[in-house]
């Protein structure tokens, strides 16, 4: 805790220094609104200095306004720097894990030891138990158990092997057992982490499409307020009012949307950073933003919705046989069965048996493609379990109607029936079931409220698919799907104008990942998949996509909320500054000073102080993001309009009045 | 207010609410059905292919070129009036700058009049220049609006329809028949319709009087139905030949409202979402009602400055209570309030009383109506402006539901925002800029007959009126000087086409986009929440842009009157 405080303190110092460097107009022009504030600050400062030199009075007021104008820019820069530093800190803490490792580079004559950071794309290295993998790559040869906790925080080791869809390794993880030959997938400085870091750094940061649209609107508003303020001297001169350039600049700065312009870069960076904190590396800011727009989410059944394997949930006996008997025979038939299904049968049956001593001469009969059954032989005879048609062939006679009914009930419910027979006589059926990961139903309901349709893609038959889709609470399913069908499905939906998200890890997922609008690749997946996706999940958790969607939405909401707040604030600032400008010449306008601000100077100063202070006050919100609730668009909008729209109108009235009272107390008027 | 006032208001507004949806439905039919044989004949005669689809650039080009030709024709007629027929009074031609101003004014549907109708124009000019431009100006607006609608109705299309087809459909099936019918009604109620120019009569005192007549009834119907507003007579709707009876006053009120208030319903039908049309109508109508409320309140208010003069300002059985200055006694305050609120909201510019004599709070309402210019606004372009505001409001608020904002199934992205913002800039730039210029330079100040906030308000009103294609004026400002004639002429042209072309371009971009299916994450725009949002956005935005001049103009005058200060 202490250390974190020190760390934060250091970050604040660095952000402060960085924000001073960002005052350089050559850098600030990227933010047009703040650039205008800077021009205004230079003007008011010059005027204040001039008034000192000529003793023409009003210096204190001019200096006060100038200081707060500079602070306004400073606060905005600080927001951006802080977001940037937080992102960088997060990224470099990961990068540090791989800093100094030695790699054994495969050369034509054997191995040479080089530094991990010197490995180039296509280089091959070998790594053995106990060693740290020097950089990202794809396994060419071997199988290993790897501890990825450095990256994912998950302590259970994972298996990575060549050939399959789990062939990707990440730099900084440790091999626990086995040895690997790995092909390097990126040149130094081009790994996902490096890209991530450059995403949050100012220099390389590209504005996302929505950010560009919003910036255009902010520039448009700024131009309009420029016209408004530019016309006032003429209006005033006609009305016999002397206008003060300092007050005009103060009014301009108050009106143009400085709050959102100051926080906009920070909001974008924070969005990428939030994805990062969820262990998702986005390849672009756009990817995170688009995630919020997703209409359809394609989810693989196996591994995403269900655990990879089916489990036994029930023993159903035929007439004249007890459940316990079916359990007993199933238990012995599966004792040596190493498949997950077999293990689950043993687990389910064990508590039901009183006596677990196996009958004499128990010999396991393994599964063969020919018989498509497994089981055991013993002194009691043969026990076999298998699919309906296989066991029926083994029994040599068609099943009775009651067993057929049991089988069809199980199939209709989405389960897999496994018939158990002893000495060619069917005893009953084991109900194997896909187990849906806990908590998914709630997450899908949440997605539905967000307007995202969830579609399950599976190779299963439609009957099973429907049952699982219903149980998991999915909106739709696509059964008997081949890998190429997924691509066709994505294209079809995109044609209708929908945005499609998917997750994937295999090489055969790569084309679909490239086609999808948001593609979350698993870090454990193949290099091809990781290249094709626009995000990589370090935890390799397919359901993580749901979090990404929420992060995307939160990003857009935060932008919209702070823009609305920023513009709504203008009302109160008008009511502070306009009476201050006109009331000396026309006392009848006093009624417009509804806040009852003390003097024209205090009114203008309070407005400009409020305008500056609101930026740091909102930094936490910009970084954390406005909370997202999946309650449907209208309810969400009503809520946010009330808080940021109506609140945006009311808050500054209170704020400016309080600042004015403080100024009076401090005799600053 | 007395019961009679309520009855008048209730009756008039009920008529609008009942008729507009029907007209909107009829307009949608016009644009969703096949060509009529009469239309085919017209296309053959003009050698245009009504099936040829136009991109936004071609459509915009057709608007600009055709309106350019209309403008030149109108200018030449006014400028060469002396040598043209039907000029028995031998009226001299308009000066070049006033002819320019007038041609610009009528081709843009503004009908700002820097001339005095009966005193300066021959019947030929009234018919060929004025009435002709009144038709084409209004028709162009409707055609452009239909093209903009197609931005929403089409999906994946590069084109927005055919300008000529859109132009003639409205003209032949709605505009001409309605104008013809109403012209007969105006004749029946007593408006002249003749090629004669003057009749003589004896007054009660026995003096002889020359009354100017002409094709008044026909001009009157298109003046109001086309939200044009330029009167045959300088006194406009206050002249007994233009607006002879309380019935014509109500009919003219309806004429102004009928096409404009039907546009939201028309839109709803065109995009296949009638509810959306109703919701937009509610937005427009709420602003209209709020304006009417303030005007009626302000005009019924006794003027404190006249309190110690021995003037009866309370309502009596023989007079309306309140500000009767500048109003026709035969029409009364409520009819004038209704008429003026409608003429400004629908940017017609016809008047049946002196705008310069209205109380400052009423002028405040007129100014706000003109700044908004979209409730319902002029023929077509006003409603297009409302769609632009809706897009901007949806963009801002839409972000708050956590999706890239969509309006009617179309994604709102940078191009749409760029073009809407461009369109949005025009009004503040022209109105604030030209007013600021005119209140300080001698050429502008020398035309001002009134000092203080009232004089300021008159200049502001002139440029707001020119910008909103409204055309009504506060008479205290002499606008027939070359300075104002040219400046307002240029302003009218710029403020007609500068906001319109970006909106056409935006429609072009929207038509190309796919129409997205609605999900529960989509922000629905046919709800009461949207009404509140759009109203809030429009009011907030207009207030932020125009508060300084509104304070120094009408608000200052209003508060000064309350404080007994005069200038």
ipTM: 0.93
Which of left, alpha, beta for A167 (phi over 0: left; psi -120 to 50: alpha)?
Answer: alpha
pLDDT of residue B484 exceeding 70: yes
| Residues in A 399-418 with any Cβ partner in B closer than 8 A | none
Neighbouring residues of A509: CB distance < 8 A, sequence distance ≥ 6: A165, A483, A486, A502, A521, A525, A529, A532
Residue A139: both structure tokens together: 């396994």
Chain A: closest CA distance from residue B500 (Å): 17
**Integer Cα distance of B443 and B477 in angstroms:** 12
- Check CB contact under 8 Å for A574 and B397: no
Query: Once rounded to an integer, what is the mean pLDDT over residues B276-290?
Result: 95
Lookup: tokens for B321: 């209570």
At B447 the three-state DSSP class reads: coil
pLDDT at position B1: 64
Catalytic (active site) residue A505: no
Q: Chain A, 486-515: which have a CB under 8 Å from a chain B CB?
A: 496-498
A302, with CB counted inside 10 A (0-12, 13-18, 19+), is middle
Give CA–CA dist A37/A28, Å, rounded.
Answer: 10
Q: What is the pTM of this model?
A: 0.86
Sign for the pseudo-dihedral over CA of B358, B364, B370, B374: negative
Closest by CA position to A561, among listed A499, A618, A513: A618
Distance CA A221, CA A669 (A): 31
Pairing between β-strand A363-365 and β-strand A168-169 as defined by DSSP bridges: unpaired
**What is the reported pLDDT for A75?**
94
Instruction: Return the half-sphere exposure (C-beta side, CA atoms, 13 A cut-off) of residue A99.
Output: 7
Tens-place pLDDT, residues A272-330: 888 888 888 888 878 888 888 888 999 888 777 887 678 888 899 988 888 888 999 89
Give the model's pLDDT for residue A669. 64
Distance CA B493, CA B488 (A): 9
CA distance linking residue A262 with residue A267, whole number of Å: 10
Stretch 166-225 of chain A: residues touching chain B, C-beta under 8 Å: 209-210, 212-214, 216-217, 219-221, 223-225
- Least trusted range by pLDDT, from A162-166, B155-159, B488-492: A162-166
Among A217, A221, A637, the residue with its CB nearest the CB of B401 is A637
pLDDT at B374 over 80: no
**Residue B125: both structure tokens together:** 């000019």
Please spell the DSSP secondary structure of B109-169, one letter per residue: T----SS-HHHH--HHIIIIIIIHHHHHHHHHHHHHHHHHHHHHH-SS-S----HHHHHHH
Question: Residue A217 is nearest to which of B417, B522, B565, comparing CB atoms?
Answer: B417
Task: Test A232 with B401 for CB contact under 8 angstroms.
Answer: no
Q: Tell me which of B401, B463, B563 to substitute to probe the interface with A (most A C-beta atoms closer than 10 Å).
A: B401
Q: Would an 8 Å CB–CB cutoff place A650 in contact with chain B?
A: no
CB–CB contact A571 B422 (8 Å): no
Predicted confidence at residue A1, as pLDDT, reads 43
Q: Which two tokens stand for residue B492?
A: 């009218």
Residue A383, SS3 per DSSP: strand
| A-B C-beta contacts closer than 8 Å | 211
pLDDT at residue B104 above 50? yes
Chain B residues whose CB is inside 8 A of the A296 CB are: none
d(CA B338, CA B351): 11
- Best A211, A224, A226, A575 member to test B by mutation, with max B CBs in 10 Å, is A224
Nearest CA in chain B to A229: B548
Secondary structure element (H or E) that encloses residue B407, with its range: strand B406-407
Asked if the C-beta of B307 comes within 8 angstroms of chain A's C-beta atoms, the answer is no
And the tokens for B318?
């023989």
Among candidate residues A537, A525, A544, A533, the one with its CA nearest the CA of residue A137: A525
What's residue A613's pLDDT? 96
Does residue A550 have a cis peptide bond before it, meaning omega lies within 30 degrees of 0? no
Question: Which among B421, B536, B548 has CB closest to A228?
Answer: B548
Segment holding B10, helix H or strand E? helix B3-32
Q: Are strands A535-537 and A518-522 parallel, antiparallel or unpaired?
A: parallel
Nearest residue on chain B to A255, alpha-carbon basis: B544
Q: Could you say which of B416, B456, B556 has the minimum Cβ distance to residue A586?
A: B556
A4 and B CB contact within 8 Å: no
Give residue A98's pLDDT. Answer: 55
B556·A223 Cβ contact <8 A: no
- Residue B393's pLDDT is 92
What is the three-class DSSP state of A457?
Answer: strand
Q: How far is A510 from chain B (nearest CA, A)?
A: 26
Considering A273, A300, A505, A537, which one is annotated as catalytic?
A300
pLDDT value at position A119?
Answer: 82
Query: Which pLDDT value is given to residue A447?
Result: 83
| CA dist., res. A162 & res. A365, Å (int) | 31
Q: Following DSSP, what letter does each residue of A316-348 receive, concatenated?
A: EEPTTS-HHHHHHHHHHHHTT--SHHHHHHHHH
* Burial class (CB within 10 angstroms; exposed 0-12, middle 13-18, buried 19+) of B35: middle
Taking CA–CA distances from B561, the nearest residue in chain A reads A588
* Strand pairing report for A381-386 and A280-282: unpaired
For chain A positions 233-272, those within 8 Å of chain B (CB to CB) are 233-239, 255
Cβ <8 Å between A633 and B562: no
Q: Is residue B368 within 8 Å of B291, Cβ to Cβ?
A: yes
The percent of residues in chain B predicted with pLDDT above 70, rounded, is 99
Q: Give the model's pLDDT for residue A12.
A: 87
Note whether A573 contacts B: Cβ–Cβ < 8 A. no
Q: What is the pLDDT of residues B446-481, one digit of tens each?
A: 999 899 999 999 999 999 999 998 888 898 899 889
CA dihedral A599, A600, A602, A605 (to 10 degrees): 180
Between CA A420 and CA A383 the distance in angstroms is: 7
Q: Are A517 and A501 in contact (CB under 8 A)?
A: yes
* Of A393, A389, A419, residue with least CA distance to A406: A419
Please check whether residue B286 is in contact with residue B386, taking contact to mean a CB–CB distance below 8 angstroms: no
Placement of tokens 């307020």 in the chain: A225
CA distance A275 to A372: 46
Cross-chain Cβ contact A220/B519 below 8 Å: no
CA pair distance B283, B280, nearest whole angstrom: 5
Residues from chain A contacting residue B560 (CB–CB below 8 Å): 586, 588
* Structure tokens, A479: 């059964």
Residues of chain A with pLDDT under 70: 1-7, 94-100, 150-155, 192-193, 195-205, 308, 669
Contacts of the segment A589-592: beta carbons below 8 A, 24+ positions apart: A589/B551, A589/B555, A589/B556, A589/B559, A591/B559, A592/B551, A592/B555
The secondary structure of A154-177, three-state, reads CCCCEEEECCCCCCEECCCCEEEE
C-alpha to C-alpha distance for B125 and B232, rounded to whole angstroms: 11
Contact across the interface for B559 and A588, Cβ inside 8 Å: yes
Q: What average pLDDT does the structure give for chain B?
A: 91
Instruction: Note whether B396 contacts A567, CB cutoff 8 Å.
Output: yes
How many helices (H) and strands (E) would you count in chain B?
22, 4
Buried b (16+ CB within 10 A) or exposed e, B249-266: bbbbbbbbbbbbbbbbbb
- Please write the tens of the pLDDT for every residue from A216-259: 999 999 999 999 999 999 999 999 998 899 999 999 999 999 99
Residue A288 φ/ψ, nearest 5 degrees: -65, -40
pLDDT in tens, B220-229: 999 999 888 8
Strands A425-436 and A306-317: antiparallel
Cβ contact A552:A245 at 8 Å: no
Residue A30, pLDDT score: 82
B510-545 per-position pLDDT tens digit: 999 988 888 777 888 999 999 999 999 999 999 999
Angle at which helix A633-640 crosses helix A544-568, to 10 degrees, equals: 40
**Residue B255 pLDDT > 50, yes or no?**
yes
B308: burial class by Cβ within 10 Å (0-12, 13-18, 19+)? exposed
Query: Which sign does the torsion angle of CA A505, A510, A512, A513 carry?
Result: positive
B453 touches chain A (CB under 8 A): yes
Q: At residue B54, does pLDDT exceed 90?
A: yes
Q: Is the Cα torsion angle A571, A576, A578, A583 positive or negative in sign?
A: positive
CB-based contact, A585 to chain B, within 8 Å: no
């Amino acid at each position: 805790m202490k250390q974190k405080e020190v760390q934060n303190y250091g970050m604040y110092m660095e952000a402060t220094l960085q924000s001073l460097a960002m005052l350089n107009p050559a850098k600030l022009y990227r933010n047009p609104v703040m650039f205008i504030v800077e021009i205004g600050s230079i003007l008011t400062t010059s005027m204040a200095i001039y008034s000192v030199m000529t003793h023409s009075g009003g210096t204190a007021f001019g200096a006060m306004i100038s200081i707060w104008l500079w602070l306004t820019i400073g606060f905005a820069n600080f927001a951006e720097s802080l977001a940037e530093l937080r992102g960088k800190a997060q990224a470099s803490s990961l990068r540090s894990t791989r800093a100094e490792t030695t790699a054994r580079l495969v050369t034509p004559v054997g191995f040479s030891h080089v530094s991990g950071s010197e490995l180039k794309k296509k280089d091959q290295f070998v790594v053995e138990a106990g060693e740290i993998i020097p950089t990202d790559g794809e396994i060419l040869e071997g199988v290993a158990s790897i501890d990825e906790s450095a990256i994912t925080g998950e302590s259970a080791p994972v298996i990575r092997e060549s050939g399959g869809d789990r062939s990707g390794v990440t730099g900084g993880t440790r091999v626990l057992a086995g040895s690997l030959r790995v092909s390097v997938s990126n040149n130094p400085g081009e790994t996902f982490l490096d890209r991530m870091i450059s995403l949050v750094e100012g220099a390389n940061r590209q504005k996302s499409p929505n950010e560009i649209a919003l910036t255009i609107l902010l520039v448009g508003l700024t131009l309009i307020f420029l016209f408004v303020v530019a016309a006032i001297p003429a209006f005033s001169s006609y009305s016999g009012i002397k206008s003060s350039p300092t007050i005009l600049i103060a009014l301009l700065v108050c009106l143009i949307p400085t709050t959102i312009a100051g926080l906009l870069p920070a909001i974008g960076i924070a969005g990428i950073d939030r994805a990062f904190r969820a262990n998702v590396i986005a390849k672009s800011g756009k990817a995170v933003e688009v995630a919020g727009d997703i209409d359809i989410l394609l989810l693989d059944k196996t591994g995403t919705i269900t655990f990879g394997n089916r489990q036994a949930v029930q023993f159903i006996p035929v007439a004249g046989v007890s459940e316990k008997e079916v359990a007993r025979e199933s238990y012995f038939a599966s004792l040596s069965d190493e498949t997950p299904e077999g293990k689950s049968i043993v687990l389910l049956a064990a508590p039901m048996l009183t006596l677990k001593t196996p009958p004499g001469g128990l010999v396991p009969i393994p599964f063969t493609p020919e018989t498509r059954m497994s089981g055991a032989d013993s002194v009691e005879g043969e026990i076999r379990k298998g699919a309906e048609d296989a066991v029926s062939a083994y029994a040599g006679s068609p099943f009775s109607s009651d067993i057929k009914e049991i089988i069809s009930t199980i199939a209709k419910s989405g389960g897999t029936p496994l018939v158990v027979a002893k000495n060619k006589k069917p005893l009953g059926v084991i109900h194997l079931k896909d187990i849906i990961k806990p908590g998914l139903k709630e997450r899908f309901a949440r997605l539905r409220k967000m307007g995202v349709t969830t579609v399950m893609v599976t190779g299963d038959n439609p009957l099973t698919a429907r049952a699982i889709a219903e149980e998991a609470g999915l909106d739709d399913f696509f059964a008997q799907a081949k890998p190429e069908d997924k691509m066709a499905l994505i294209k079809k939906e995109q044609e209708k104008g929908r945005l499609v998200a998917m997750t994937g890890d295999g090489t055969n997922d790569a084309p679909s990942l490239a086609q999808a609008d948001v593609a979350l690749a698993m870090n454990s997946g193949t290099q091809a998949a990781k290249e094709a996706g626009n995000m990589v999940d370090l935890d390799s958790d397919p359901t993580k996509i749901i979090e990404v969607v929420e992060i995307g939405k939160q990003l857009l909401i935060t932008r919209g909320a702070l823009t609305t707040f920023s513009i709504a604030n203008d009302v109160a600032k008008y009511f502070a500054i306009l009476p201050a400008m006109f009331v000396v010449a026309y006392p009848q306008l006093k009624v417009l000073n509804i806040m009852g601000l003390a003097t024209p100077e205090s009114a203008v100063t309070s407005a400009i102080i409020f305008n500056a202070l609101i930026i740091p006050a909102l930094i936490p919100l910009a970084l954390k993001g406005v909370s997202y609730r999946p309650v449907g668009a209208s309810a969400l909008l009503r809520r946010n309009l009330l808080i940021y729209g109506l609140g945006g109108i009311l808050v500054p009235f209170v704020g400016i009045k309080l600042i004015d009272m403080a100024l009076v107390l401090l005799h600053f008027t | 207010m007395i019961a009679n006032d309520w009855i008048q208001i209730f009756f008039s507004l009920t008529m609008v609410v009942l008729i507009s949806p029907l007209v909107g439905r009829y307009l949608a039919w016009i644009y969703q059905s096949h060509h009529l044989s009469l239309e085919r004949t017209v296309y053959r005669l003009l050698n245009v292919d009504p099936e040829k689809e136009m991109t936004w650039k071609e459509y915009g080009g057709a608007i600009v070129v055709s309106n350019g030709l209309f403008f030149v024709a109108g200018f030449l007629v006014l400028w060469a009036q002396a040598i043209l027929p039907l000029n028995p009074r031998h009226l001299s031609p308009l000066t070049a700058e006033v002819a320019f101003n007038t041609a610009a004014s009528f081709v843009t549907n503004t009908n700002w009049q820097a001339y005095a109708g009966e005193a300066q124009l021959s019947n030929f000019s009234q018919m060929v220049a004025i009435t002709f431009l009144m038709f084409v100006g209004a028709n162009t607006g409707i055609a452009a609006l239909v093209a903009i609608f197609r931005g929403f109705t089409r999906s994946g299309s590069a084109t927005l329809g055919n300008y000529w087809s859109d132009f003639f459909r409205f003209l032949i099936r709605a505009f001409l028949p309605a104008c013809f019918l109403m012209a007969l009604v105006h004749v029946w109620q007593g408006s002249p319709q003749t090629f004669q120019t003057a009749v003589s009569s004896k007054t009660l005192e026995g003096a002889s009087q020359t009354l100017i007549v002409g094709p008044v009834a026909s001009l009157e119907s298109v003046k109001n139905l086309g939200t044009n507003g330029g009167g045959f007579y300088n006194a406009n709707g206050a002249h007994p030949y233009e607006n002879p009876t309380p019935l014509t006053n109500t009919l003219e009120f309806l004429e102004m409202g009928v096409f404009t208030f039907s546009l939201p319903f028309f839109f709803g039908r065109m995009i296949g979402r009638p509810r959306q049309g109703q919701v937009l109508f509610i937005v427009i109508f709420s602003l209209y009602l709020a304006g009417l409320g303030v005007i009626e309140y302000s005009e019924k208010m006794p003027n404190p400055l006249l309190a110690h003069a021995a003037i009866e300002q309370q309502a009596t059985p023989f007079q309306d209570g309140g500000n009767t200055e500048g109003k026709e006694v035969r029409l009364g305050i409520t009819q004038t309030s209704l008429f003026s609120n409608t003429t400004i909201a629908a940017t017609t510019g016809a008047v049946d009383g002196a705008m310069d004599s209205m109380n400052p709070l009423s002028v405040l309402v007129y100014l706000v109506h003109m700044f908004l210019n979209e409730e319902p606004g002029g023929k077509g372009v006003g409603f297009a402006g409302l769609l632009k505001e809706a897009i901007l409001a949806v963009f801002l608020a839409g972000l708050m539901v956590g999706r890239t904002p969509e309006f009617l199934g179309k994604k709102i992205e940078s191009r749409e925002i760029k073009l809407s913002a461009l369109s949005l800039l025009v009004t503040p730039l022209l109105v604030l800029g030209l007013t600021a210029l005119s209140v300080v330079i001698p050429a502008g100040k020398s035309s001002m007959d009134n000092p203080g906030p009232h004089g300021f308000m008159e200049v502001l009103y002139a440029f707001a009126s020119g910008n909103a294609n409204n055309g009504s004026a506060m008479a205290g400002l002499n606008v027939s000087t070359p300075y104002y004639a040219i400046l307002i002429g240029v302003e009218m042209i710029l403020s007609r086409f500068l906001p319109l072309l970006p909106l056409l371009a935006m429609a072009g971009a929207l038509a190309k986009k796919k129409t997205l299916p609605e999900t529960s994450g989509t922000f629905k725009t046919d709800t009461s929440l949207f009404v509140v949002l759009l109203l809030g956005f429009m009011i907030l935005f207009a207030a932020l842009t125009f508060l300084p001049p509104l304070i120094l103009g009408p608000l200052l005058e209003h508060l000064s009157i309350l404080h007994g200060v005069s200038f």
